[in-house]
Amino acid sequence: MMPVIFRIPFLGRDIPSYGLMMMIGFMLAIVWAARRAAKSKANPDVVLNCGFIALIAGVVGCRFMYVVHYWDQFKNRGDAGQVFMAIIDVTKGGLEFYGGFILTVIAVVIWLRWREKVSLRWYLDILAPSAALGLAFGRIGCLLNGCCFGGVCELPWAVRFPFGSPAALQHWQRKLPEAELREELIFIDEPTGLAQSLSREILTVPEEDIAQAEATIAELPGQIAARQAELSRASNNADRQRLTRELAKLNRKLEAARREHVGIHTQMQKYGLTFAELRAIAAEHRSLPVHPTQLYSMVTAALIAFLLSVVYWRRTRDGQVVCALFVIQPLARWLIEVIRADNPVDAMGFTISQFLAICMTIAGLIGFWVLRRMPPRSPRARPWEPPEEEKTARKKGARAATSG
């Protein structure tokens, strides 16, 4: 598990592994689809346009579904601004695949039909294998991030996630055997009075940042006391105003330092521990062994991508590939949901993903039935011819390469 893949030198910006894997998967999927389009004599530019639409719609749809599904996690984050910032923060995950998939399909269909005016069936077939490939890379990101984990098991290939991971946190909250935490890792949240586990994000903060915050917390009370003493002695109105402003600024700075790494300072002071010692204690605690459902999903998605690519070149009707995607992928997801432990059963006896998977499979089967009543080849599926100026440029490039 590696939520942060690396930190950009000098900028101090973390690159989340989840986002990086999504971006790699997106780029490879688009390149693969564009090559498929070129070999099929379709327009690769249309595929590229659909790719960028899918990127935006996919993230928005995934996040929207997650926020709606887990609204209770967002509604009490503070004022409207804080709630909004929590909603748009996708750096730690919090995306549900089917929300993005459904919105992407809608957006791409609208774009192909009313903007590009090309064959829906043909171009959706071109894109379908790449959708599965992108999902496979997304699941690698899930594994690195620690989300989408499976239920507890004793299989030889079971995995254990580190302290602060969603799996370890769930096991502690449910008081599962062997999931108890040492007191040094639990703090009492002042607003709610509830016991909370220190977060993995806090424990991955660079040690120098914690040291700087600790120094600020240690030094500022003395500075504040000195300013208050000066203020009590000041007789000049201008000096009193200046000292009042300085006091307000110092108090805000102290409050920000305490709030920045909530829980850490309390536990370090309460138990007389350094940050390094606290992290060493955390390293001893892991989740119970669980199914590596992220790997199951990754392998399944990769196999589906390969299968759909084979089907594409052997299809007898336009539309068969995208309909196969609608049937096969949801069936695989439904089975994996049986052993996943992160999604609640809250949709008519199913998880929301299982319920949507059933709906999508039905839609795919209906699609196959409709295809039998349509022409095998879409009337709009005409070979694309590049503009004359592009043909000329290609010929010049080929001649230059030959002469070189």
Q: Which of 276, 253, 247, 249 is nearest to 264 (CA)?
A: 276
Domain presence at residue 397: no
Q: Which of 294, 351, 27, 5 is nearest to 136 (CA)?
A: 294
For residues 250 and 283, state if they share a domain: no
Percentage of the chain beyond pLDDT 70 is 93
Q: Is the dihedral of CA 226, 227, 232, 238 positive or negative?
A: positive
Domain presence at residue 394: no
Whether residue 393 is predicted with pLDDT greater than 60 in this model: the reply is no
395 compared with 220, residue with greater pLDDT: 220
Whether residue 147 is predicted with pLDDT greater than 80 in this model: the reply is yes
94 compared with 337, residue with greater pLDDT: 337
Crossing angle of helices 17-39 and 120-145, rounded to 10°: 160
For residues 142 and 181, state if they share a domain: no
Task: Give the pLDDT score at 380.
Answer: 84
Residue 196's SS3 state is strand
Picking from 288, 303, 333, the residue at the C-terminal end of a domain is 288
Task: Give the pLDDT score at 152.
Answer: 94
Q: How far apart are CA 64 and CA 166, in angstroms?
A: 20
Domain presence at residue 388: no
136 compared with 79, residue with greater pLDDT: 136
Domain presence at residue 141: yes
Whole-angstrom distance between the N-terminal and C-terminal Cα of the chain? Answer: 49
Q: If you average pLDDT over every residue of the chain, what do you get? A: 87
Domain presence at residue 145: yes
Task: Give the pLDDT score at 119.
Answer: 92
193 compared with 264, residue with greater pLDDT: 264
Q: How far apart are CA 152 and CA 34, in angstroms?
A: 41
Q: Which of 237, 164, 169 is nearest to 4 (CA)?
A: 164
Tokens read off for 169: 């946190």
Residues whose CB falls within 8 Å of the CB of residue 384, separated by 6 or more in sequence, listed in order: 41, 42, 43
Task: Give the pLDDT score at 322.
Answer: 96
Range of the domain at 192: 161-205+264-288
Q: What is the pTM of this model?
A: 0.82
Q: Among 6-15, 200-209, 223-232, 311-320, which stretch is predicted with the lowest mean pLDDT? A: 6-15
Task: Give the pLDDT score at 392.
Answer: 59
- pLDDT, average across residues 143-160: 93
For residues 200 and 349, state if they share a domain: no
**pLDDT, tens digit, for every residue of 86-127?**
788 776 667 888 899 999 999 999 999 888 889 999 999 999
Structure confidence at residue 128 as a pLDDT band (50, 70, 90): very high
Task: Give the pLDDT score at 363.
Answer: 95
For residues 125 and 218, state if they share a domain: no
For residues 201 and 212, state if they share a domain: no
* DSSP string over 299-325: HHHHHHHHHHHHHHHH-SSTTHHHHHH
Residues whose CB falls within 8 Å of the CB of residue 221, separated by 6 or more in sequence, listed in order: 254
Backbone phi, then psi, for 86, in 5-degree steps?
A: -65, -35
Task: Give the pLDDT score at 205.
Answer: 83
What DSSP element (H or E) covers 186? strand 186-188
- The total number of residues written for the chain in this structure: 404
Q: How far apart are CA 42 and CA 129, in angstroms?
A: 16
For residues 130 and 70, state if they share a domain: yes
* DSSP string over 26-79: HHHHHHHHHHHHHHTT--HHHHHHHHHHHHHHHHHHHHHHHHHHTGGGTTTSSS
**pLDDT, tens digit, for every residue of 381-392?**
888 887 765 555
Domain presence at residue 20: yes
Q: How far apart are CA 78 and CA 34, in angstroms?
A: 45
Q: Among 8-12, 60-64, 164-168, 229-233, which stretch is predicted with the lowest mean pLDDT? A: 8-12
Whether residue 5 is predicted with pLDDT greater than 80 in this model: the reply is no
For residues 305 and 281, state if they share a domain: no
* Cβ(367)–Cβ(124) below 8 Å: no
**pLDDT, tens digit, for every residue of 30-81?**
999 999 999 999 999 999 999 999 999 998 998 888 888 888 777 776 677 7
- pLDDT, average across residues 318-326: 96
Domain presence at residue 393: no
- pLDDT, average across residues 309-331: 96
Whether residue 1 is predicted with pLDDT greater than 70 in this model: the reply is no
What DSSP element (H or E) covers 359? helix 352-371
For residues 186 and 220, state if they share a domain: no
**pLDDT, tens digit, for every residue of 172-213?**
999 888 888 999 999 887 767 788 888 888 888 888 888 888
> 165, exposed or middle or buried, with CB in 10 Å at 0-12, 13-18, 19+?
buried
For residues 190 and 225, state if they share a domain: no
Pairing of strands 195-197, 186-188: antiparallel
Count of structural domains within the chain: 3
For residues 191 and 268, state if they share a domain: yes
- pLDDT, average across residues 144-162: 93
Domain presence at residue 389: no
Task: Give the pLDDT score at 239.
Answer: 85
Structure confidence at residue 394 as a pLDDT band (50, 70, 90): low
Pairing of strands 4-8, 13-16: antiparallel
For residues 175 and 300, state if they share a domain: no
For residues 277 and 298, state if they share a domain: no
